[in-house]
Amino acid sequence: MRRLLVTRIADPNPQTQAPSYGAFASCCRYVIGHCWEEIPPLASVGPDHFSACWCSQEIRNGLIIEKAQTEGSAA
């Protein structure tokens, strides 16, 4: 049995639209407020290595410590 796939040009359902925030904002250990406001641009961080992260340079340079480490040591 063959099925006909029907798609709509403009789907008003917001759940099918791409989010306006970073793809990993909900699970990233380095998330900052800006991650929830705008999608970061894709940037080169090494030979054949790209990152779409607002903090990629700081992370690469060791300027950001993982949240899990800082939150655990606050006690």
Q: Cβ distance 39 to 20 under 8 Å?
A: yes
Q: What is the pLDDT of residues 11-70, one digit of tens each?
A: 555 566 667 888 888 888 888 999 999 999 998 888 988 889 998 888 888 887 665 444
Confidence of residue 3 (pLDDT cuts 50, 70, 90): low
Q: Cα–chain-centroid distance for residue 18?
A: 12
Cα distance between residue 69 and residue 33, in whole Å: 19
With helix as H, strand as E and coil as C, how does the chain read? CCCCCCCCCCCCCHHHCCCCCCCCCCCCCCCCHHHHCCCCCCEEEECCEEECCCCHHHHHCCCCCCHHHHHHCCC
Evaluate whether 21 touches 52 at the Cβ level (below 8 Å): no
pLDDT at 17: 66
pLDDT for 38? 92
Q: For position 70, what pLDDT does the model report?
A: 47
